[in-house]
A and B are shown apart, each in its own frame.
Chain A
Amino acid sequence: MFDYLLIDTSIHWLAVFFYILATISNSYGIVFAKKRLENWGYKLAWTGLFIHGLALAIRWVVSGHGPYMVRYEVLSSDAWIAMAFFLLLKRRFPQLKPVSIIIFPATFLLIAISLFLNPAIKDLPPTLRSIWLVFHVFFYKISLATLLIALAFSIFHIAKGRANAKWLKRLPDHKTIDLYSYRFASFGFIFWGIAILAGSIWAFQSWGRFWGWDPIETWSLLTWLLFGLYLHLRRFFAWRGDKAAILFIFCFITSIIALFFTGLIGPSVHSAYFT
């Protein structure tokens, strides 16, 4: 008998398998300067991405809506976007390659967590059928992908100054790492803002109000303002280096709380989203 959920989770586990292999190969290659293994890691990641994408596409067709209804598919699609974004950008900007040491495990962690959640398909309630919801969710996912890259550079900056590992010395210099961290943080700021805007339009269309100080809305605004503070401190108070990196990590933690945990804290109009 055709059991779609069994097939769905099986394909996801296959993708996890490839991501784990990619992580091991790539991380080993970066740390021990084995270029061949490092490149194999990227190839395995591409394979995992393709399999993962297939699972999401099939689920989209079967459910009749995008992957933004239940936590299982939300985490899975977040992981896919993060991986796809990194792999595509890496081709254009090879300096991003070392970031895989953070992106790969983050991706398989997201997808692995999702596999412990209920994969049942939920029908789309009428409130969630809006193009603005699609933009809202999509830009949050893109934002998460850029913030992960910025997080990686922030961690590199701190680690490079404190640890004496050979592989850290092979990373770009402090100034370059700091600059990339800033650039991707600012991308995250832009996309997060666009996501809030799209969400406001959707809220006005569905609920008659563009902002209701809902816990998720409040945390999202808080995160955006924190990133604004980070950018101000960098621009006008010359915050650089480790100071900026630590602040960014704090901002990133807030963004994770806003994205994944506020729905669990209290009642919210987004509750249907976080089932």
Chain B
Amino acid sequence: MSHGKASKLKFDIRQEQLHKTGQSTRFHKLLTARITVLLLLLLQLLAILSAALIPQRSHLSPTQLEQWQKAHPWFYNLTSFLGLDHVFGTIWFWIILILFLLSLTNSLIYQLKHTNAQHTGLTWFSRINFRRWGGICLHLGLLITIVAAIIYSTTSQSALLQLYVGEVHTPQDAWDYAESGSLSDDLRLNGSLKLDRINSTLWPSGQLKQITSHLTYTNYGKRKHITLSINNPVSINHIRIYQLHDFGKDFFITLKEKNDIHQLNIHIKYPTQKATWAYGNFNASEIPYEIKAKYNINYLLQSQQTSLVIKLLRKNEFISQIQLTLNESGKLGPYTVTLNDVRDWTAIMAVRSPGMLMIFVGFTLLIIGSLCLYLPIYKSNV
């Protein structure tokens, strides 16, 4: 290649680099422009406002969603089309969020490059530019929080489980309900979990004060006793186990009519308000009756003495009623009913949440930043 051609090539490459640098500078300027930041902030506000005003699918049961759809057909179609009924799962929300993050990152880099201390002072403390560092902290905290929250939402795992006293949940067993982020599988414990016993304490008014589950976690033959209570979760191998509010009794009954035998499980939850009885309804497709049942909660957790009152109805018309204790039998309408077993149960939740520490670090930086930025009185009055 001749000298002239090599020079021209270098010049062209340089021009291309300058052109790209110019483009990146323009892009950087566009991202960090005050109007861009304001616009992105406003768009996010509008997105959150729409989520606040329009019922979100994730907060409604299928029945509630259907009712809302029937009540507002044209509005439902519009919101569904625009994604306003599941704002935080729409592509446009994520685009706004990513642009906001890019803007924030560019702004932070710019702020960090221009943090030369302007103050003079005798001590190192007085020379710190708190206002500028406050701004950096606040925006860095915001950035860390949002990024960590994205990691959390895409990788977190949670699962619900109802356990009977004496029951063992192994890693191969399915959860009653499981949820996981788009980048993770269903949660899996490394060992087995056995519910040993449940204790509950009540206020004098009869309302629940605390519920405590005693469990045994077994992993490779090693046993660990766990005590769970509400607001006191336990951590096992980065999985937090939570005690939920739900507990009660399951009553296993047999209904016998000539040669027909039906095995039913009447699931009754302990009431949340003060009450003498805990109630449960049961509709079995195999029998043409409805069953209503109750047990006296003064006999709470003394399963062997608990008596169950069963009422048989047909199209809301009372047919028969009976009270049974364990292993007792009696006549209920056309059936001979036997109470075979009573089992206490409670519900627990297992959660794995990567990124939580970073979220709280982000929050802390955010607060420190806003304290530095807005608490002191700076010379320039805004």
> Does B374 lie within 8 Å of A126, measured CB to CB?
no
| Alpha-carbon separation in the docked complex, A153 to B206 (Å) | 48
> Does B363 lie within 8 Å of A197, measured CB to CB?
yes
| Alpha-carbon separation in the docked complex, A249 to B250 (Å) | 55
> Does B374 lie within 8 Å of A190, measured CB to CB?
yes
> Helix, strand, loop or mixed for chain A's interface?
helix
Given A193-B366, A200-B363 in contact, is the A229-B45 Cβ separation under 8 Å? yes
Nearest chain B CB to A215 CB, angstrom units: 6
> Does A193 lie within 8 Å of B209, measured CB to CB?
no
> Does B356 lie within 8 Å of A204, measured CB to CB?
yes
> Does B158 lie within 8 Å of A209, measured CB to CB?
yes
Nearest chain B CB to A38 CB, angstrom units: 27
Residues of chain B contacted by A231 (CB below 8 angstroms): 374
Which single member of A190, A200, A229 contacts B41 (CB below 8 Å)?
A229
| Alpha-carbon separation in the docked complex, A237 to B381 (Å) | 14
> Does B52 lie within 8 Å of A190, measured CB to CB?
no
Which single member of A122, A127, A190 contacts B245 (CB below 8 Å)?
A127
What residues of chain B have their CB less than 8 Å away from a CB belonging to chain A? 34, 37-38, 41-42, 44-45, 48-49, 51-52, 55-56, 58-59, 88, 149, 152, 156, 158, 203, 205, 207-211, 229-231, 233, 240, 242, 245, 349, 351, 353, 356, 359-360, 363-364, 366-367, 370-371, 373-375, 377, 381-382
Which single member of B52, B88, B240 contacts A208 (CB below 8 Å)?
B240
Given A179-B381, A218-B52 in contact, is the A123-B375 Cβ separation under 8 Å? no
Q: Which residue of A lies closest to B243 (CB)?
A: A126
Nearest chain A CB to B314 CB, angstrom units: 34
Nearest chain B CB to A68 CB, angstrom units: 15
Q: Which residue of B lies closest to A122 (CB)?
A: B207
- Sort A-B residue pairs by CB-CB distance and give the 5 closest, nearest first: A186-B374, A126-B230, A208-B351, A123-B203, A197-B363
Most buried by A among B58, B210, B242, B370: B370
A164-201: which residues lie under 8 A (CB-CB) from chain B?
Answer: 175, 179, 182-183, 186-187, 189-190, 193-194, 197, 200-201
Nearest chain A CB to B370 CB, angstrom units: 5
Residues of chain B contacted by A211 (CB below 8 angstroms): 149
> Does B38 lie within 8 Å of A232, measured CB to CB?
yes
Residues of chain B contacted by A236 (CB below 8 angstroms): 34, 37-38
Residues of chain A contacted by B371 (CB below 8 angstroms): 190
Residues of chain B contacted by A175 (CB below 8 angstroms): 381
Residues of chain A contacted by B364 (CB below 8 angstroms): 197
| Alpha-carbon separation in the docked complex, A230 to B275 (Å) | 50
A18 near B: Cβ within 8 Å?
Answer: no
Nearest chain A CB to B232 CB, angstrom units: 8
A226 near B: Cβ within 8 Å?
Answer: yes
Binary interface profile of A, 58-71, with partner B (CB < 8 Å = 1, else 0)?
00000000000000
Given A182-B382, A201-B360, A229-B45 in contact, is the A213-B231 Cβ separation under 8 Å? no
A89 near B: Cβ within 8 Å?
Answer: no
Binary interface profile of A, 119-131, with partner B (CB < 8 Å = 1, else 0)?
0001101110110
Nearest chain B CB to A155 CB, angstrom units: 20
Most buried by A among B41, B58, B367, B382: B382
Most buried by A among B34, B88, B231: B231
